[in-house]
Amino acid sequence: MIPVLIVLNAGSSSLKFQVFDIEGDTEPRLVWKGLYEGLGGAAHFIVRHAGGANLDEMSWTSGEEFGHEAALMHLISWLRQHQEGRTLAAIGHRVVHGGQAFSAPVLVDDNVVQVLEKLVPLAPLHQPHNLEPIRIVRRRLPGIPQVACFDTGFHHTQSDIATLFALPREMRERGVQRYGFHGLSYDYVSSVLKDYDPRLAEGRVIVAHLGNGASLCALKGGVSVATTMGFSALDGLPMGTRCGAVDAGVIFYMLREMKLTPEAAERVLYTKSGLLGVSGISNDMRVLRSKAATDVDAKRAIDLFVYRITREIGSLMAALGGIDGLVFTAGIGENDTATRAEVMAGLAWAGLALDDAANRTGGPCISSGTGPTAWVIPTNEELVIARQTRSVLGAMQARLAS
């Protein structure tokens, strides 16, 4: 039987999955990928071959109460019907926050779950949904090994100073520090830089993970030395619906003068701000681009997004002591030629020059001249989770065999 693993990424009403063959020592090989959406209401399931062709599709009515548990058990049943000589070896989970405790992927047990539950206040929009399928599998499929893979883990290489806030020491001791996120994405980009330009793998690179969630990471020799996100996934760049960096005094103003409850203020910062808040139209860059020529607020949202990116890149260049390469990745970074062009124009002072034709076709190299190079590299967080899950599974099997 060929061992396979499932990679899960759970949201509030969705469950994304990918299935990888992990036979032998080669790179995990994607077999199927799919999505459950509309969970808790009118749910929809679709699964595709690795090449993208549709394999199966199904829908449920809103009255069937089809939630995460039903989706997971349906997925297991579907896999058994299509296993074709395969056997499920493990499940790997994307978990946003690993806190101070976890700098590497970890085999899930009772203690791990307890620690991760304590981190929910640090990532309230993500952590509860990441933990839900872990609990379900532990309850319904207790014999299946599970591995938690963390978005914060990649940034544990940063110096103490880079993670420090200028706050009383006891706050640091209670976990208040800069963590950084999108680490699975940065891990992937770091791992493939050598395939695009071997010099970049050892050089000073800034990776721009630009999507509905957005951040930047400074890499030196492929290792994280600084990033724009901090204690929470709110910090740094403006995002689709999240505010990015904001003066802490604004929060006090919202609570005292505007009389918002903490919960209401949190909703504003996480779900009503960013591109959506500034534009008043949408958090979707494609929509904003289509309206920017005639709608001043849509243009203002885009301009703020680009301004903050270029400004923060300057900050990370200072942390690196210069720049050898810039990488665009994630939804906006990989697909929005206009954002890439505007960011590059804002960095002309640093020697970055755009190759317009290459940018229009998606690169991968989109720079010209003799200055720092710029690249478009599609990210693959699921493959990183598959790699990490197989590594932990292998270590567990080695311990059992010894």
Catalytic residues: 151
Q: Beta-carbon neighbour count of residue 31 at 10 Å?
A: 17
Q: Are 120 and 152 spatial neighbours (Cβ–Cβ below 8 Å)?
A: no
- Alpha carbon 382 to its chain centroid, in Å, reads 10
Please state, in angstroms and rounded to a whole number, the distance separating the CA atoms of residues 381 and 13. 20
Residues whose CB is less than 8 angstroms from the CB of residue 332 and which lie 6 or more positions away in sequence, other chains included: 210, 211, 214, 285, 339
Checking phi first, is residue 175 left (phi over 0); if not, alpha (psi -120 to 50) or beta?
Answer: left
Distances (CA, A) of 275 to 82, 213, 286, 294: 42, 11, 11, 17
Cross-strand pairs, 93: 8, 148
Q: How far apart are CA 6 and CA 379, in angstroms?
A: 18
Give the CA-trace dihedral at 253, 257, 259, 265, to 10 degrees: -20
How far are the Cα atoms of 328, 345, 386 from residue 149, in angstroms, in the given order?
Answer: 23, 36, 9
Phi, psi of 332 (to 5 degrees): -75, -45
Pairing of strands 373-376, 325-329: parallel
Whether the CB-CB separation of 148 and 177 falls below 8 Å is answered with: no
Return d(Cα 355, Cα 253) in angstroms, integer: 45
What is the C-alpha separation between 148 and 112, in angstroms, rounded? 9
- How many Cα neighbours within 13 Å face the side chain of 258? 13
